[in-house]
Amino acid sequence: MTEIYDFAIIGTGSVGSAAGYYASQKGLKVLELDVAVPPHTQGSHHGQTRLIRHAYGEGGKYLPMLLRAQKLWDELQQKTHRDIFHQISLLNVGRQGTDFIENVERSAQRYQLPYEKLTGEEISQRWRNFSFSNDYVGVLEEKAGYLNSEIAIQAYLDLAKEIGVEQKFDSAVQSIDFQDDIVVIRTAQQVYQVKNVLVSAGTWVKELLPTVPVQPIRKVFAWFDVADKRLNEDEGFPAFAIEIDDKQTYYGFPGKDDTIKIGQHTGGQPINQRSQGTPYGDYSSDKEEVLPLLQRYLKGVGPLNHGASCTYDQSPDGDFIIDQLPNQPNVQIVTGLSGHGFKFVSALGELAAQKANQEEITTDLSAFKLNRFE
């Protein structure tokens, strides 16, 4: 007789790897499917690191999930003793009175997060490599920092495997069909029957679910030589998210191993096929993107060392899509993470596992429903 899984995960990169672990912990019979072998460089999670900000400029609706995510990251680190979270301080900077920085401060106040407000000149005095006038303001979060994304995914996959999750990698899912209450998943190699499904296929979710409004965006980021050692993590340089005059947002990590990683959150190239996600340097703009930051606001960064390209799964409003398929309550989707999802991955995985286990979801997810685009 054909085996019927309790829960299949289509795409076990960031969200999927976490969901697989939390579901297996609950005793569900879990199947993990991925077109590649995660962690890998063909999705949205490579390049070693991701910022975790707590005071969230994107709005208070994210905060309950974010605080839960931090707790789960801490637990994962304690359990595995792997190098997952670096609590090194994170500096948010924006022009006085702009939405980004006001939302950051508002969410810090509302959720009583510890933070320090700094004038532009105070920022420049504390870290001599920054150069901000008092038109700018900073919100420094000492409890925030960054996550080692690839290490975290590997940790979830290893834990799941230990519990006995079936992992089928190099297995591209080609179709999802329905037979009464059972979902039928086809890969090139096999057909699976499952009771509940999570589609966490990231940027290319539309190949499986064409009506989900997600636009793939090609994004680049780069490592530069550290020309001034004060930029290094062990010298106390913070991670940062900076919105400058023209609403362009940049992010970066303190220097490590003589390089510093910097990228632009805004911008990028909308693409429609995987082959268009070409390597760093393919567009002349790739090497110019972060120059506005380096020329005016951040000193001591040396020549380009190397770069990489990645993709965002951009939703129309930049907010996540966390829902189920219309009329198919046993198919969950988590997508549209729009370039800011990694920090939430632990909590998103836990929520998906709870739903697959028919538990009541107490987190308010009403802002993330698909029908907001109708």
Answer whether 309's CB lies under 8 Å from 279's CB.
yes
Contact status: 11 vs ligand FAD (CB under 6 A): yes
Q: Using CA atoms in the order 264, 266, 268, 272, what is the torsion angle rounded to 10 degrees?
A: 140
Candidates 13-21, 96-104, 270-278, 360-368: pick the segment binding ligand FAD (CB under 6 A): 13-21
| Span 225-254, contacts to ligand FAD by CB under 6 A | 251
Least spacing, CB of residue 217 vs ligand FAD, in Å: 8
Nearest distance in Å: CB 287, ligand FAD: 15
What is residue 100's DSSP assignment? H
**Buried/exposed code over 328-347 (b: 16+ C-beta within 10 A; e: otherwise):** eebbbbbbbbbbbbbbbbbb
Does 282 help bind ligand FAD (rule: CB under 6 A)?
A: no
- The DSSP code sequence of 257-290 is TTEEEEEESS--EE-SSGGG-PPTTSSGGGGTTT
The count of other CB atoms within 10 Å of the CB of residue 206 is 17
Q: Which residue is nearest to ligand FAD (CB)?
A: 13
Report yes or no: 185 and 10 within 8 Å, Cβ to Cβ: yes
* In the complex, minimum distance from the CB of residue 25 to ligand FAD, in angstroms, rounded to a whole number: 19
Tell me how far, at minimum, the Cβ of 19 lies from ligand FAD, in Å. Answer: 9
| Part in contact with ligand FAD (CB under 6 A); list of ranges 59-67, 197-205, 283-291, 293-301 | 197-205
Q: Which two tokens stand for residue 2?
A: 């054909």
16 sits near ligand FAD (criterion: CB under 6 A): yes
- Is there binding between residue 256 and ligand FAD (CB under 6 A)? no
Cis-peptide, bond into residue 326, ω within 30° of zero: no
Asked if residue 35 binds ligand FAD (CB under 6 A), the reply is: yes
Question: By CB under 6 A, how many residues form the interface with ligand FAD?
Answer: 39
**Binding residues for ligand FAD restricted to 118-177, rule: CB under 6 A:** 172-173
Q: Which of 15, 31, 140, 159 contacts ligand FAD by CB under 6 A?
A: 15
Distance between CA atoms of residues 199 and 16, nearest Å: 8
Q: Does 208 bind ligand FAD (CB under 6 A)?
A: yes
Q: Is 265 in the active site?
A: yes
Stretch that binds ligand FAD, among 87-95, 190-198, 307-315, 351-359 (CB under 6 A): 307-315
CA–CA dist 57, 138 (Å, integer): 12
**Catalytic residue from among 45, 86, 256, 261:** 261
- For residue 277, state whether it binds ligand FAD (rule: CB under 6 A): no
At 79, list the tokens: 């359990």
Query: Residue 153 is encoded by which pair of tokens?
Result: 């995914």
Choose, from 256, 310, 335, 355, the residue flagged as catalytic: 310
Q: Is 50 a catalytic residue?
A: yes
Structure tokens at 198: 């999570």
Instruction: Establish if 24 lies at the interface with ligand FAD (CB under 6 A).
Output: no
Q: Which of residues 325-364 bind ligand FAD (CB under 6 A)?
A: 337, 339-343
Q: Given the complex with ligand FAD, which of 107 and 124 has the nearer CB atom?
A: 107
Residue 46 bears catalytic tag = yes
DSSP string, 193-236: EEEEEEE--GGGGGGT-TTS--EEEEEEEEEEEESSGGGBGGGT
Examine residue 90 and tell whether it contacts ligand FAD (CB under 6 A).
no
Backbone angles phi, psi at 36, to 5 degrees: -120, -165
Which is closer to ligand FAD, CB of 11 or CB of 20?
11
Burial 286-300 (b: 16+ CB within 10 A, else e): beebbeebeeebbbb
User: How far from 207 is each of 61, 174, 175, 203, 333, CA to CA, in Å?
Assistant: 29, 8, 9, 9, 13
Site string (57-76) toward ligand FAD, x via CB under 6 A: --------------------
HSE-up of 103 (CA within 13 Å, CB side)? 14
343 catalytic residue (yes or no): yes
Catalytic positions, written as ranges: 46, 49-50, 261, 265, 310, 343
Residues lying near ligand FAD in the complex (CB under 6 A): 10-11, 13-16, 33-36, 38, 42-45, 47, 50-51, 172-173, 200-202, 204, 207-208, 219, 221, 251, 263, 310-312, 337, 339-343
